[in-house]
């Protein structure tokens, strides 16, 4: 006799966890790594020598600050809306320059973690008190639904780090289309894309010898244990990273070292795992100019310019809405 599938969930986390662990192959959504512990682990990841992305983008902001600021400027000022703001370390370089040069702007950081937003707002009040800050807690998709309402002056939609890389191309196009639909002809999208490079450099960034990325991924299991009364033994899982240089796709997995059964009380769910069975936890897509141009065209956007670090490891692209983009989509 088959058990009746659960259909009544208290939270999106509960529902998504149920769906992921009853699928084949199994998966968990990476956005749920980011609770208070996950936020701190990611900040440690960004400080690792192997995690080149942060330093590369920091170099771009340091070396091209004035040019980026000039591209943002509008006749009546502008609003910077940053999706997935995190701790804002790189953004602060730009914000400090904008404040010093007395640009007319507001900064609106968006993040799924209220804890991160609270820390960022406090840090900005202390370090750059001249900046007008208005935080927004929520997912990208909820925020995008409201973006079109910001139409009184030029808006700069900013997405840094490897945020777009968490999406497969088909999902990235949908994400970019949603942004494009909220843009006027004067608006801009400023977005970071990690570039294709030596495969080993990419693998090292997501599987460091200190085990920080392992702890980061296993935080998904710990969160299930804490919030959904699961009994995962994190030591019985191996963290494994793969990279396909042809597609530019890096994937993270938690691999069961043995056959095991896990029970998640609040979902009334028994999860059976075979030895060496995987739970997919993260994707991190890498790009080149041709792929970015293709994604932009599909989403009704056009590349206006791009800023790169010295080794072309990472690029920040500036997009505008293509003329007649709405009628083409």
Q: Which two tokens stand for residue 28?
A: 């968990």
Residue 267: burial class (beta carbons within 10 Å; 0-12, 13-18, 19+): buried
* Residue 2's pLDDT band (cuts 50, 70, 90): very low
The predicted pLDDT at position 1 comes to 37
List Cβ neighbours of 43 (8 Å cut-off, separation of 6 or more). 86, 87
pLDDT higher than 90, residue 147: no
- The residue-averaged pLDDT of 182-193 equals 94
Pairing label, strands 269-273, 278-285: unpaired
* Residue 156's pLDDT band (cuts 50, 70, 90): very high
- The residue-averaged pLDDT of 11-20 equals 96
CA atoms within 13 A on the CB side of 226: 13
- The residue-averaged pLDDT of 191-205 equals 96
Question: Domain spans of the chain?
Answer: 12-48+200-285, 52-197+287-328
The pTM of the full predicted model, rounded to 2 decimals, is 0.86
- The residue-averaged pLDDT of 222-240 equals 98
* Residue 3's pLDDT band (cuts 50, 70, 90): low
Mention the CATH class of domain 52-197+287-328. Answer: alpha beta
* Mean pLDDT rounded to a whole number for the chain: 92
The string of pLDDT tens digits covering residues 244-266 is: 999 999 999 999 999 999 999 99
């Amino acid at each position: 006799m088959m058990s009746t599938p659960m259909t009544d969930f208290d939270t999106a986390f509960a529902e998504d966890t149920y769906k992921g662990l009853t699928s084949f192959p199994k998966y968990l959504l990476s956005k749920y790594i980011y609770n208070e512990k996950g936020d701190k682990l990611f900040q440690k990841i960004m400080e690792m020598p192997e995690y080149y992305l942060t330093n590369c983008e920091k170099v771009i902001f340091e070396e091209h600050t004035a040019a980026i600021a000039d591209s943002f400027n509008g006749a009546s000022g502008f609003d910077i809306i940053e999706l997935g703001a995190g701790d804002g370390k790189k953004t602060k370089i730009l914000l400090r320059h904008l404040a010093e040069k007395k640009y007319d702007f507001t900064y609106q950081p968006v993040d799924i973690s209220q804890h991160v937003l609270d820390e960022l707002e406090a840090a900005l009040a202390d370090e750059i008190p001249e900046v007008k800050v208005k935080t927004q807690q929520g997912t990208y998709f909820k925020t995008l639904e409201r973006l079109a309402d910001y139409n009184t002056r030029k808006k700069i939609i900013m997405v840094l780090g490897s945020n777009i890389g968490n999406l497969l191309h088909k999902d990235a196009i949908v994400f970019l289309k949603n942004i494009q639909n909220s843009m006027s002809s004067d608006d801009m999208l400023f977005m970071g894309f990690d570039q294709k490079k030596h495969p080993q450099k990419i693998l090292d960034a997501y599987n460091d010898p200190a085990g920080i990325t392992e702890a980061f991924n296993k935080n998904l299991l710990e969160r299930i244990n804490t919030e959904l009364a699961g009994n995962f033994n994190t030591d019985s899982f191996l963290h494994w990273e793969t990279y396909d240089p042809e597609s530019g796709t890096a994937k993270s997995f938690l691999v069961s070292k043995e056959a095991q059964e896990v029970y998640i009380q609040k979902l009334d769910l028994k999860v059976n795992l075979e030895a060496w069975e995987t739970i997919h936890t993260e994707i991190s897509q890498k790009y080149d100019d041709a792929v970015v141009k293709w994604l932009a065209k599909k989403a009704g956007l056009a590349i206006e310019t791009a800023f790169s670090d010295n080794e072309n490891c990472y690029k920040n692209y500036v997009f505008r809405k293509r003329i007649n983009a709405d009628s083409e989509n």
